[in-house]
Structure 1
């Protein structure tokens, strides 16, 4: 039970307050944070949609049982922590001008809901590409990988935004993706320096990956040599982790997955030595290249026509 004016952050990342209603604001903002409220006897709990950030101040307004409202200010203690860092893997690979997304990998879980304020895309002349990103913010479960979507309405040929505003990327041009030094981890620690990643726009890609042009060789039995697959073009590096599986019968071959820096190849180093036998490489047909073309159809397919889901594709090899 909370005392009359006690407001606190519990160990589950919720704000607890006495009374029957509660609203939470970041600093002196006029709009309350999104979240859910649950009630427990004479107290309420607020669970934020996005994690609270250490070092930030919050204003908690809560209503007592007699209907009166009170206000308390909380400032979460910023613990001592290392500066977070960020990398953009596979940035040495030219992106097709109609690319759909990039991935940013942070060393720590990051503050969410602010990426449009922390990331800008610049042309070589220093001007900002306005409206470059879709507002959808997609984080990995651990809060360390951000999928940065380029606006599909501008990247898809012939639709209104593409025609009116032009594409985000233009073939042959170079761009700087800038990450603000002020972006904080959920522990409240900022990056501390500005990060810049170069993006080179190559020719647009409207073709599906071609399985017939993939190359691989079966490893030898009794070894832990990697199964190495070379693709006909760079594929989506994040999707590769879940879209390719190696099976022996109904058993999946466990091991360590490695993806090349140019996103053109995938390798599996088995946890144990390869035994004699037949194996299947099971591939999700929705595996995409960097422009969103998957094994089933190109990105710019006529969406008015229904598409039948394709079964998983299988490549077979023998270990001898």
Structure 2
């Protein structure tokens, strides 16, 4: 009887050990909800050291039961075997998101919902800014961005409520890519269909060019765009601009205009380019790490006096002597010209396939 008891205890111990091992090391996603609309997503354990944190953890918005194809922008960091992701912008009320944690050939998925919508909110929503902010815009522009003062419904058909008029006040037809993307619940991306900009793509050949050099145009944001809170209303807005010659040059980082912050301060880091840059690629394409580590510095990017100047505002003081400024291959101007590859090219180089396009090291003052 004693022998059987010993065997049973050993058997139970082994089962407990196996269960504990599997439980402790199974992939998991947790959400820190101290702030419902600015949660911190945590995924662990992440052992694939050959991949970037942004390749292993992605968060997608769900709308009308469908998951967006574009992941949220935000900042990533990694501590030991845990990946952290914080959204770049606050998430709106009454929204649902799927967090994906990719490992090997499997995916862990977690649903996250923000706090319910307060339907009593009734506000007039203004257009805060339209990017590019310049009123002289190159003929081969690819993207505009509309920033609203209040949260909007991230409607994929929002492009239908934005009109482009020529100087004769005639609507320019079939301008937008037929699917709106949102950087956040306040910033709408409007992408001109590449077939009407890039050579070699056939799309409504009979319509001709979207823009003509020297001509003036009007971009109209109508009150039909849908706010997040149904009782609110968008105030119509019109941006007038003139078309100039197309641009085909790759933008350059002006290292001599890099404004270095002081150590132990929260001063802004200034990054300057030789030409206006695309908002989305700046927000999602530039990161800062502590030198010679994968530790990401969390903060946010804001625009300067024009679209050639951008500032990084850290969440915490600059405590280290040396940092690394990283530009990925998607950083580009509004016409799609990247740091290492112009938009109009048929050449494929190994350099283009690398995720990182440029790296700059700097020391705090």
- Which TM-score band applies after superposition, normalised by the shorter structure? 0.5 to 0.7
| Residues matched between the structures, number | 247
Query: Per-residue displacement from partner, 1:189-236 (whole Å, max 9, x unpaired)?
Result: 363543212233222011111236663143333433322111111111
Provide the residue aligned with 1:82 in structure 2: 123
Cα separation, 2, equivalents of 1:189 and 1:267: 35
Provide the residue aligned with 2:364 in structure 1: 319
Q: 1:78-117 alignment to 2 at 5 Å?
A: 79-93=120-134, 94-106=136-148, 107-110=150-153, 112-117=155-160
Please state if 1:292 is matched with 2:333: no
Please state if 1:239 is matched with 2:281: yes
Provide the residue aligned with 1:126 in structure 2: 169
* TM-score, length basis structure 1: 0.67
Q: Could you say what secondary structure the match of 1:89 adopts?
A: strand
In 2 relative to 1, CA 280–99 (structure 1 residues): closer, same or farther, beyond 3 Å? same
Cα separation, 2, equivalents of 1:285 and 1:49: 29
Cα separation, 1, equivalents of 2:328 and 2:210: 29
| Equivalent residues of 2:163, 2:221 under 8 A apart | yes
* TM-score, length basis structure 2: 0.60
Provide the residue aligned with 1:210 in structure 2: 252
Of 217, 230, 241 in structure 2, the residue corresponding to residue 199 of structure 1 is 241
Cα separation, 2, equivalents of 1:222 and 1:144: 32
Q: What is the Cα deviation at residue 245 of structure 1?
A: 1.6
Q: What is the Cα deviation at residue 295 of structure 1?
A: 1.6
Q: Could you say what secondary structure the match of 1:242 adopts?
A: helix
| Equivalent residues of 1:183, 1:190 under 8 A apart | no
| Equivalent residues of 1:278, 1:319 under 8 A apart | yes
| Equivalent residues of 2:172, 2:210 under 8 A apart | yes
| Equivalent residues of 1:85, 1:108 under 8 A apart | no
Which sits farther off after the overlay, 88-97 or 196-205? 88-97
| Equivalent residues of 1:123, 1:174 under 8 A apart | yes
Provide the residue aligned with 1:6 in structure 2: none
Provide the residue aligned with 2:314 in structure 1: 270
Of 172, 177, 183 in structure 1, the residue corresponding to residue 214 of structure 2 is 172
Provide the residue aligned with 1:64 in structure 2: none
Q: CA RMSD in A?
A: 2.9
Q: Could you say what secondary structure the match of 2:313 adopts?
A: strand
Provide the residue aligned with 1:11 in structure 2: none
Structure with greater proportional helix content: 2
In 2 relative to 1, CA 84–232 (structure 1 residues): closer, same or farther, beyond 3 Å? same
Q: Could you say what secondary structure the match of 1:136 adopts?
A: coil
Q: What is the Cα deviation at residue 131 of structure 1?
A: 1.2
Cα separation, 2, equivalents of 1:193 and 1:184: 11
In 2 relative to 1, CA 135–234 (structure 1 residues): closer, same or farther, beyond 3 Å? same
Cα separation, 2, equivalents of 1:237 and 1:292: 11
Cα separation, 1, equivalents of 2:120 and 2:299: 37
Q: What is the Cα deviation at residue 244 of structure 1?
A: 1.4
Cα separation, 2, equivalents of 1:179 and 1:220: 42
Of 327, 339, 354 in structure 2, the residue corresponding to residue 310 of structure 1 is 354
Cα separation, 1, equivalents of 2:203 and 2:262: 53
Which sits farther off after the overlay, 186-195 or 91-100? 186-195
Structure 1 gap ranges (5+): 1-35, 37-46, 51-76
Q: 1:17-56 alignment to 2 at 5 Å?
A: 48-49=65-66
Cα separation, 2, equivalents of 1:284 and 1:240: 10
Of 188, 199, 204 in structure 2, the residue corresponding to residue 146 of structure 1 is 188
